[in-house]
Structure 1
């Protein structure tokens, strides 16, 4: 019993901040039209220098491949766009790179014949970023690992909580109806919703 309480206390402490965040973003996800503002889009243009145009001209005619180092360095210096080794889409006319991130995206288009470059940054705000983090979309690997750790902590929290409820069930007769309700209500709503699709 004491060991069960100790693990329940540890799991609840580990879960607290993430549980609050996931509960809040559950609401904002369910009502995204209310909470998320209109995307803010900014566009910046420039002409790629001759050396960048040269390496782009020597790139693949079509398909997907990372940008050459010279192009990456110029984009970082000119636009503060860090492309890393992300794959861009190459065609005879242009090279396009779309980089998704929580709450927005950056689209870079470089015209191959003339070097005209457009960088478009779309920002959907803090709520949209939190919503994307909730689902794990466009998130770094460290965040996805944190979600896995949080999920395990929640399982421990729920399991030890159930164990504590069961140990006190005789003294509290309402325990079983509450447990059954906690299982039956979400399951019933889920089955109704799934059947309605």
Structure 2
């Protein structure tokens, strides 16, 4: 009888040691839930955008786009044309400030300090943009200004946002911050799955299924 009592007591102590501390579990649940919902709130709109554009990019060839081309022409005044002549044989340099101001006033073009390509006969400035393209050409001899912009529509614009194509440093920083928030969202979700896995036996099989499906497609179907 005494041996049975001792054995029962030892088993009880062993179970108590294996049982997780409720306070510790509550602490991690509280903080993981907090980080999970904050990161999900930060990611929500951007994640929807990147998910939808992921589909449109995957089927880009099936989505028709009708580019719209806009052209503008102008004549550079003689004083500004003289400034281009004074620039000499510069290969690559921004346009003079007065020329940029004239372009903004007369043609509503804001080129900033982008680097232009200079040659003996012309100055060419490439102006790539999300969802399209544009360029500016100035004849250094006669002062003729020619501008052309191609717009491929909203779908192309959002697709370029997804790729970070010609979007500038601000959007590039946003993508980096968004990626970090997504990592936090996924990791906190993983730890929450671990905490709830005992009450949900299908947790790890479902997670494993997602991993296996991805690996099979990568190994077998991607050539």
- TM tier, smaller: over 0.9
Q: Report the TM-score, using the length of structure 2 for normalisation.
A: 0.82
> 1:178 matched to which residue of 2?
206
Residues 123-143 of structure 1: CA deviation (Å, up to 9, x unaligned): 111111111111111112221
Could you tell me which of 157, 179, 187 is aligned with 1:129? 157
Q: Report the TM-score, using the length of structure 1 for normalisation.
A: 0.93
Residues 47-95 of structure 1: CA deviation (Å, up to 9, x unaligned): 1110121111122325111111121111111111111110000111110
> 1:168 matched to which residue of 2?
196
Report the Cα distance in structure 2 between the residues aligned to 1:36 and 1:71, rounded to whole angstroms: 38
Three-state SS of the structure 2 residue aligned to 1:43 is: strand
Deviation at 1:38, TM superposition (A): 2.1
Q: Which runs of 5+ in 1 are unaligned?
A: none
Three-state SS of the structure 2 residue aligned to 1:106 is: strand
The runs of at least 4 aligned residues of structure 1 exceeding 6 Å deviation read none
Q: Which runs of 5+ in 2 are unaligned?
A: 1-28
Report the Cα distance in structure 2 between the residues aligned to 1:114 and 1:48, rounded to whole angstroms: 8
Higher strand proportion (structure 1 or 2): 1
Could you tell me which of 80, 84, 93 is aligned with 1:52? 80
8 Å Cα contact 2:68-2:150 kept in structure 1:
yes
Report the Cα distance in structure 2 between the residues aligned to 1:176 and 1:124, rounded to whole angstroms: 45
Q: Confirm or deny that 1:71 pairs with 2:99.
A: yes
8 Å Cα contact 2:128-2:134 kept in structure 1:
yes
8 Å Cα contact 2:74-2:107 kept in structure 1:
no
Larger radius of gyration: 2
Paired residue total: 195
